[in-house]
Structure 1
Amino acid sequence: MPNRLSSRRIRTTSILKALSALPLLLALGACSRPPPAEALLADARRFSAQGDPKAAIIQLKNIVQQQPDHVTARLMLGQMYLDTGDMASAEKELRRARELGAQADLVQPGLGKALLSQSQFQRLLDEFPAQGASAEALALRGQALLYLGRPDEARSMFERALQLKPGLSDATLGLAKQALIGAQPDKAGQLLEQAIAQNPDNVDALRLKGDLQLAAHEPAAARKSYERILDIKPNNVQARLDLANLAIQQDRLDDARQQIKLARKAQPKNLMISYSQALLDFREKRYKSALEQVQQVLRVAPEHMPSVLLAGAVSVLTGSDTRAEQYLTQFLQANPEHPYATKLLATVTLRSGKRDDALNIMRAALKGTPNDADLLALAGEAEMQAHNFAQSAAYFEKASELKPERSELRLGHGFSRLQMGDSPKAIAELERAAQGGGGAERAGTLLVLSHMRDKQLDKALSVVDAMIAKGDSAMLQNLQNGPVCITEN
């Protein structure tokens, strides 16, 4: 009996202890329970207002982890990803919000921007039909049509958007871009200022303003416009990359590296970081790395024309002629008569032995830009290979007049004159070329001059033929520093 009583007392004591600990356990459980969604949403809004998108994104992720069907959190998360440049994540969240029943007018602007930023132009047109579209959706369609090389259709979309919603800055901005493509820079500038007046904090308008200033050879003003975007949105990765690309063009490569580093820190998944890194690699002649970086972009966004052009330029300079021709043809289909791309395609076509094709490209291009020294020199090389020495000499002579400081142009002129049998003028041009030349070209020039002075014209011509047969265009070194950074989305 005593043992039974003792056991009962022990069990009773244990139960009482467990019951007495229950309030504490319940309290601890309450402390470990995550805050409710509305509290997290309030935190996210506060962090966003304070300019801390990363903290806002963390809180929003906590909400959708608790409540995967929380529409408001999905919408806001999509917008936060847009603001920080993570367009793929923005697209994912906005699509989910739409599936959960979010209103179209809340989803479409952000989703359209995400598609545009990923160069998914045709996909945007497929998903945003013009029939019954809102003004904002029509403006998005116009943007996509612009990038697909259909400016007249784009203008129609922008005009329809403004009829539905007068003063819509995105539509006015689209008309400015369309005017710029149509070679109406004054009209483009007027429309751009109108778009900025309609919405002074429109970062797309400020970016286009910077691009226009850059095209007008006002890099300091362009830099201020890009920096103004960072004043409005300190975490805007695209503004960082625009500043990096500008620094690359100005050979401020350390500044470019710093901007790319800041962009990568803010948004490591942003695809356009790879493009800017490729530009930097290209300028530093690290062509293998440049091609790897730009191909990362093209795998996701095959219609991103700046990357297509850069891939073509790298391929030309690394001797991958077939691949270069494919890239450059694709680019020129979307951007006909683009001078830099035309020169590159002419170079690779000529080097591939397609002399007649190269001549056709260059003759057509020279009608529009008759005073382009690089193009004239390429045409001179092609005519020399075709044994049209008089025409070759004429091209090189004009190129030399335009750029008298470039010895390779005098070299081409001298060689052409030599082939024509005009020894006095050939010697004069070759001597002037030798004064400023360098490396193998200078040595070859001096050798030709030596043979000519010894009246050994056959030997001089043999050296010329050997130099031409190398197939390395005299323009390649000049083209490798060409303006490959063209306006992006």
Structure 2
Amino acid sequence: MNRRNAHLITLLILALSAPLGGCDATARLSEQEHIQRAKDFEDKGNLKSSIIELKNAIQKNPDSPQARLLLGQVYLKAGFGAEAEKELLRAQQLGISRDSIAPQLGEALLLMGEHQRLLDEIQSNDKLSSVNQARILALRANAMLATGQVRDACDLFQSAQAIDASHPSSYWGLALCAVIERDPAKARTLLDAALKLPQQQSQTLVYIGDLEQLNASLEGALKAYDSALKIDPENLQARYNRVPALLRAGKNEAAAKEIARLRERAPNFAQTHYLTALFDYSQEKYPEARDALQQAFKFAPDHPPSLMLAAMTAHALESYQQAETYIGRFLARFPGNKQAIKVLATTQIRLKQPEKA
């Protein structure tokens, strides 16, 4: 072997061994070192790397209640309800008290759309701190809203705030009740009060953005969503709700870029595929919208916005029977929705069923 080939082989060996050395350094970290790295990543808003570090900690010690609990909490922050529930329940099996994680389990169920399970399984009790009692009441109120128990839900939000006024969730709920009562000024007052609290300001700004959208103030909505993302770049809800505002403002290119981020960041969420369909629908690309909605239904078969858009898309494609089916499923959950009733009426006229319209 000549000297030149020997040098090349030496360089190749060094190049191949360099990454392995890096892996060995990480492999030597202890469970607690991985957990600390995970916390550091979480503090910087890098949830993906935090999840990786916690999984590494669990590889070192599968029975670590601390790592399981933290992983469940980070999954919640990232919006992964099912994954969060799994880790939180495993943490409970390993010794974490049920009462201490009950609010987080409720949040996981809410993310999953498991509203009845939340009402059945997550209860408040006198053993809980006032903070956790209020959080659970607010979670139950959200589940009641989703199941059509509006008056009871609003009463429960009021009870949650009376127990502990330091958590923003009751303010968010009462603001939603004010919107239902057609009192946007009261809703804004409640959200402004929530924004003064130190907790979850990013999420409060999302609700302010939603209220601005309802009031047709697209500039105000986008400003609120952008402020939310400055505080927490990982806030999926801010990115989701930003897309319709961008479309309504005619900022299609910005909307497309946001959807592309979501498809990369959250490909397994119904809302991501719904927004893809909404974009296609706005461009009159109805077959593409239909296909995107089918993807949404794989992850959430009864996702309300997708059901409504699926009915409108089927109507545009002159698939009136299918449109009637979708809108019927939507109305089964929201029987008084005026837009849905209008879509159903026009569909039944197309089906030559004017007596039903």
**What residue number does 2:114 align with?**
120
Aligned 8 A contact 2:76 2:84 in 1: yes
**What residue number does 1:339 align with?**
338
**What residue number does 2:41 align with?**
47
Tell me the secondary structure at the aligned position of residue 291 of structure 1. helix
Q: Relative to structure 1, is the Cα distance of residues 172 and 327 closer, same or farther in structure 2, using a 3 angstrom cutoff?
A: same
| Rounded Cα–Cα distance in structure 2 between residues aligned with 1:32 and 1:270 | 32
Aligned 8 A contact 2:206 2:228 in 1: yes
Q: Which amino acid aligns with 1:252?
A: K
- Please, which of 91, 95, 111 is the counterpart of residue 101 of structure 1? 95
Q: CA deviation at 1:176?
A: 1.2
Q: Relative to structure 1, is the Cα distance of residues 339 and 83 closer, same or farther in structure 2, using a 3 angstrom cutoff?
A: same
Q: CA deviation at 1:90?
A: 2.3
- Does residue 64 in structure 1 map to residue 44 in structure 2? no
**What residue number does 1:267 align with?**
266
The 5 Å alignment of 1:215-364 reads 215-358=214-357
**What residue number does 1:86 align with?**
80
Structure 1 residue runs of 5 or longer lacking an equivalent are 1-29, 359-489
How far does the alpha carbon of each residue in 1:405-429 deviate from its partner, in whole angstroms, 9 at most, with x for none? xxxxxxxxxxxxxxxxxxxxxxxxx
| Rounded Cα–Cα distance in structure 2 between residues aligned with 1:41 and 1:131 | 32
| Rounded Cα–Cα distance in structure 1 between residues aligned with 2:297 and 2:101 | 27
**What residue number does 2:15 align with?**
none
**What residue number does 1:387 align with?**
none
Aligned 8 A contact 1:279 1:290 in 2: yes
Q: Relative to structure 1, is the Cα distance of residues 230 and 86 closer, same or farther in structure 2, using a 3 angstrom cutoff?
A: same
Q: CA deviation at 1:216?
A: 0.8
**What residue number does 2:31 align with?**
37
Q: Which amino acid aligns with 1:291?
A: R
* TM-score normalised per structure 1: 0.63
Q: CA deviation at 1:333?
A: 4.0
Aligned 8 A contact 1:113 1:140 in 2: yes
Q: Which amino acid aligns with 1:251?
A: G
Q: Which amino acid aligns with 1:82?
A: L
Which of the pair has more CA radius of gyration? 1
Aligned 8 A contact 1:146 1:178 in 2: no
Q: Which amino acid aligns with 1:268?
A: P
The 5 Å alignment of 1:362-441 reads none
Aligned 8 A contact 1:86 1:269 in 2: no
Out of 344-353 and 198-207, give the one that drifted further: 198-207
| Rounded Cα–Cα distance in structure 2 between residues aligned with 1:194 and 1:200 | 12
Q: CA deviation at 1:345?
A: 1.0
Aligned 8 A contact 2:107 2:139 in 1: yes
Q: Relative to structure 1, is the Cα distance of residues 31 and 328 closer, same or farther in structure 2, using a 3 angstrom cutoff?
A: closer
**What residue number does 2:14 align with?**
none
| Rounded Cα–Cα distance in structure 2 between residues aligned with 1:148 and 1:296 | 24
**What residue number does 2:194 align with?**
195
Q: Which amino acid aligns with 1:302?
A: P
Q: Relative to structure 1, is the Cα distance of residues 31 and 226 closer, same or farther in structure 2, using a 3 angstrom cutoff?
A: closer
Structure 2 residue runs of 5 or longer lacking an equivalent are 1-23
| Rounded Cα–Cα distance in structure 1 between residues aligned with 2:164 and 2:82 | 29
Q: Relative to structure 1, is the Cα distance of residues 321 and 216 closer, same or farther in structure 2, using a 3 angstrom cutoff?
A: same
Aligned 8 A contact 1:275 1:297 in 2: yes
Q: Relative to structure 1, is the Cα distance of residues 200 and 55 closer, same or farther in structure 2, using a 3 angstrom cutoff?
A: closer
Q: CA deviation at 1:48?
A: 1.6
| Rounded Cα–Cα distance in structure 2 between residues aligned with 1:292 and 1:122 | 30
Q: Which amino acid aligns with 2:330?
A: F
Tell me the secondary structure at the aligned position of residue 268 of structure 2. coil
How far does the alpha carbon of each residue in 1:62-104 deviate from its partner, in whole angstroms, 9 at most, with x for none? 0111211211111211222222233332232223223323233
Over the residues paired in the alignment, what is the CA RMSD in angstroms? 2.3
Tell me the secondary structure at the aligned position of residue 198 of structure 1. coil
**What residue number does 1:210 align with?**
209
Tell me the secondary structure at the aligned position of residue 234 of structure 2. coil
Out of 227-236 and 321-330, give the one that drifted further: 321-330
Q: Give the fraction of aligned pairs with identical amino acids, expressed as a percent.
A: 34
| Rounded Cα–Cα distance in structure 2 between residues aligned with 1:202 and 1:335 | 30
Q: Relative to structure 1, is the Cα distance of residues 105 and 278 closer, same or farther in structure 2, using a 3 angstrom cutoff?
A: farther
Q: Relative to structure 1, is the Cα distance of residues 241 and 106 closer, same or farther in structure 2, using a 3 angstrom cutoff?
A: same
**What residue number does 2:21 align with?**
none
Q: Relative to structure 1, is the Cα distance of residues 250 and 340 closer, same or farther in structure 2, using a 3 angstrom cutoff?
A: farther
Aligned 8 A contact 2:80 2:111 in 1: no
Tell me the secondary structure at the aligned position of residue 166 of structure 1. coil
Aligned 8 A contact 2:78 2:236 in 1: yes
How far does the alpha carbon of each residue in 1:364-413 deviate from its partner, in whole angstroms, 9 at most, with x for none? xxxxxxxxxxxxxxxxxxxxxxxxxxxxxxxxxxxxxxxxxxxxxxxxxx
Aligned 8 A contact 2:206 2:237 in 1: no
Q: Relative to structure 1, is the Cα distance of residues 213 and 309 closer, same or farther in structure 2, using a 3 angstrom cutoff?
A: same
Q: CA deviation at 1:347?
A: 0.6
